[in-house]
Chains A and B, each alone.
Chain A
Amino acid sequence: MIEVKDIHKSFDNQKVLKGVSATFHKGETSMIIGSSGSGKTVFLKCLLGLFSPEKGDICYDDRHYSKMTLSEKRDLRKEMGMVFQGGALFDSETIEDNIKFPLKMFTNQSQEEMRDRVNFVLNRVRLENVNNKFPAELSGGMQKRVAIARAIVMNPKYLFCDEPNSGLDPQTAIVIDNLIQEITDEYQMITVINSHDMNSVMEIGEKIIFLKEGIKEWEGSYKTIFQTDNQAVIDFVYSSNLYKKVREVYNKS
């Protein structure tokens, strides 16, 4: 379980997170939503340990982040997988080398074992014959799948995704969403996704946290988001005509 307790973070005297608390559970896909500048990315980077909160704490299975030494923090990160918005693949290395990198760095596996593991995770994200290609030779959706493969190659306990669907067509976006949910169930990971793609929210948001101006404004799930009377959530989620109609139909039924 990840427990976030009242975290605060500011940059140049501008408060970005103003006391956010949340809990994330094993095998659950959680979505962080909110408009641009609401603090979603900063929140995710705090969870990843890339930013240190000024106040508050984050506990990863009862391990307090604020009390960890630098090397303990690095060890904790080995239990994390991250899918960045742009993929963040090493562009001068092949797909195989990209995925192999954490294995080379942190395990003593032989070349053969590493190659088997790479092929296994590539197969898991439904990619074939891409081992010797470079990231630039793949489409956006394929790059995202490679990023997922790299994130799960070490069997992480925690998976974080920053806008995994940005720049993807709706069909590919659904494939990526379903893949993340399948993997979360299969490996019983704690998955936290930053998104403002409402299709994803409705598809896989087992837990949804809505941030507004650095404060947790609302928490629920894709099942309860239709019934919410929180005006800020309604304005954000049902901003498009399509979703307004969907909500009307849902509420009538």
Chain B
Amino acid sequence: MKYLHNIGLYFLMLVQVFKRPQKRSVFRESLFKEIDELGLKSIGIVAFISFFVGGVVAIQTALNVDSPWIPKYLIGFATKRSIILEFAPTFMSIILAGKVGSYITSSIGTMRVTEQIDALEVMGVNALNYLVLPKVVATVFFYPFIVLLAMSLGIFGGWISGFLTGLFSSDNYIEGIQLDFKPYLIRYAITKTMVFAFMIATIPSFYGYYVKGGSLEVGKASTLSVVWTSIVIILLNYFLTQILLG
């Protein structure tokens, strides 16, 4: 029953979130702040992880493809596909759910327990719309760029790892990443990312907005929000893959 109640409350929250902003200039200002906070400040960690995981994927593939019958360019091909299809959109979204999700829950939750949200409501501000909508717009429209960056750096990391380990040649790798390029797969990854970004912004906001108690409860809510966002991303990943590729 509690889960059903929370799901209902989540959708009621979305109704308030997707009202027209009360003041466009204030919304614009909040949006740029959120792009900086949720997007630009995540680029460092995304770049770092993408580069090294790309390298690891390429090395693992090279070590497992040791048959002389399998052409070496498949290492680049497999690395590219793994990164574009799963690593960049899904794995990165889960990392962002941890980093950004906990930030969103704790910042909104702290505002709740220190009565700052009540202060907004008393002023006549639609607090959900004011606090959550800029986050949703910032993540949904900015995370695809982050994921494109993750794809590029992951593939680049794979190439560097071959260069450093000597497990495969640069020519083979480049041939592999150029092989059978399907733009639809990029669109698929971007679509998934946008759906995941929506979840990354809304689920932690829900946990922050409806938190009751003090700082301890805000901490617990942050943990719960990361767990549930990750679960929802994994489930949606399955269904979206079935729908878009099946």
Residues of A within 8 A of B (CB): 48-50, 74-78, 80, 82, 84-86, 88-91, 101-102, 104-106, 160
Inter-chain contact A82/B119, CB cutoff 8 Å: yes
The number of chain B residues with a CB under 8 A from chain A is 16
SS class, residues of chain A in contact with chain B:
mixed
Docked complex: B111-163 residues within 8 A CB-CB of A: 111, 114-116, 118-119, 121-126
Which residues of chain A have C-beta atoms less than 8 A from B122's C-beta?
Answer: 48-50, 77, 80, 82, 160
Cα A75 to Cα B122 in complex, Å, equals 10
Inter-chain contact B118/A105, CB cutoff 8 Å: no
Cα A29 to Cα B172 in complex, Å, equals 82
Chain A min CB distance to B37 (Å): 10
Which residues of chain A have C-beta atoms less than 8 A from B123's C-beta?
Answer: 77-78, 80, 101-102, 105-106
Considering the complex, give the chain A residue whose CB is closest to the CB of B130.
Answer: A105
Cα A84 to Cα B122 in complex, Å, equals 10
Cα A145 to Cα B92 in complex, Å, equals 46
Q: Chain A CB within 10 Å — which of B25, B118, B121, B122 has the most?
A: B122
Which residues of chain B have C-beta atoms less than 8 A from A105's C-beta?
Answer: 22-23, 26, 123, 125
Which residues of chain A have C-beta atoms less than 8 A from B23's C-beta?
Answer: 104-106
Which residues of chain A have C-beta atoms less than 8 A from B119's C-beta?
Answer: 82, 84, 88, 90
Residues A104 and B26 in contact in the complex (CB < 8 Å), given A50-B121, A77-B121, A77-B124: yes
Residues A88 and B115 in contact in the complex (CB < 8 Å), given A77-B121, A106-B124: yes
Which residues of chain B have C-beta atoms less than 8 A from A85's C-beta?
Answer: 115
New A-B contacts (9) at CB < 8 Å, excluding given A82-B122, A88-B114, A105-B22: A48-B122, A49-B122, A74-B124, A77-B123, A78-B123, A80-B122, A80-B123, A82-B118, A106-B23
Which residues of chain B have C-beta atoms less than 8 A from A91's C-beta?
Answer: 114, 116
Considering the complex, give the chain B residue whose CB is closest to the CB of A154.
Answer: B123
A-B contact pairs, 16 of them (CB 8 A): A48-B122, A49-B122, A50-B122, A74-B124, A74-B125, A78-B124, A80-B123, A86-B115, A90-B116, A91-B116, A101-B123, A104-B23, A105-B22, A105-B123, A105-B125, A106-B123
Inter-chain contact A84/B22, CB cutoff 8 Å: no
Inter-chain contact A50/B118, CB cutoff 8 Å: yes
Cα A76 to Cα B124 in complex, Å, equals 7
Q: Which 7 A-B pairs have the closest CB atoms?
A: A77-B124, A88-B115, A88-B119, A78-B124, A82-B122, A74-B124, A84-B115
